[in-house]
Chains A and B, each alone.
Chain A
Amino acid sequence: DGGITQSPKYLFRKEGQNVTLSCEQNLNHDAMYWYRQDPGQGLRLIYYSQIVNDFQKGDIAEGYSVSREKKESFPLTVTSAQKNPTAFYLCASKRGLTGFSNQPQHFGDGTRLSIL
């Protein structure tokens, strides 16, 4: 079945450590997104990528980094510069821009990141 796979489901980070969240999709979608969800809040955009080898900062990119070397994969690294990383992270993808602007974003099951 086509879908978006996020791993791991739970992740713990030590002080000063970088951690990487995985997001893989087999939907042949061009655009991919990373959102952060805090309690009592809606989702906020961290980074997005509309094509391979290109990505853009979202609203809360500080302390995060991404790469897009393959169409299927869009990993998110939470760096030690992110002082409050505890949150639920959701990855999403969407069919390409041209002619598909009315398509919705599809979401993975998320990764919960906590500080040790």
Chain B
Amino acid sequence: AQTVTQSQPEMSVQEAETVTLSCTYDTSESDYYLFWYKQPPSRQMILVIRQEAYKQQNATENRFSVNFQKAAKSFSLKISDSQLGDAAMYFCAYRSQGGSEKLVFGKGTKLTVNP
């Protein structure tokens, strides 16, 4: 079974600075998808960014980018120019290709943005 590990329960960053959240996963599959979801205090799960494992190029969405290292099974999220609205829980998630396509989540990293 696949597992996802987020080793940083909490992180903090100054407004306008850059922060990187870590995620590692364990799988024997070669094709899969990786996601970062954001959960603000409202508790809604919001998709931040996704990466297909077969793509070597790292995904980027505005201020959010990932560093995907397939051999190392690492998928970190970089947030540039941090804003107060970025404060939230961030979850890394793995999804197999095919089957139930369920998401396997890490335990999350709580990000605090200091003004």
Contacts and interface: CB of A to CB of B under 8 A. Distances in A.
Interface of A: 31, 33, 35, 40-45, 48, 50, 56, 58, 88, 90, 92, 94, 97, 101-102, 104-110
Contacts of B35: 104
Contacts of A41: 107-108
Nearest to B102: A45
Interface string B79-115: 0000000000001010001101111011110000000
B1 to A, nearest CB: 9
Given A102-B33, A102-B52, A42 B45 contact: no
A42 B43 contact: no
A108 B39 CA distance: 12
22 contacts: A31-B101, A33-B102, A40-B107, A42-B93, A42-B105, A42-B106, A43-B45, A43-B103, A44-B105, A45-B100, A45-B102, A48-B102, A90-B45, A92-B103, A101-B98, A101-B101, A102-B50, A105-B103, A106-B47, A107-B45, A108-B44, A110-B43
Nearest to B49: A104
Contact of A43 (B46, B50, B98, B105): B105
Contacts of A33: 102-103
B42 to A, nearest CB: 7
Contact of B44 (A44, A58, A94, A107): A107
A19 B59 CA distance: 41
Interface of B: 4, 33, 35, 37, 42-47, 50, 52, 91, 93, 97-98, 100-103, 105-108
Q: Which 5 A-B pairs have the closest CB atoms?
A: A42-B105, A107-B45, A45-B102, A43-B105, A104-B47
Contacts of B93: 42
B63 to A, nearest CB: 19
B104 to A, nearest CB: 8
Contacts of B101: 31, 94, 97, 101
Nearest to A49: B100
A94 B101 CA distance: 9
A45 B107 contact: no
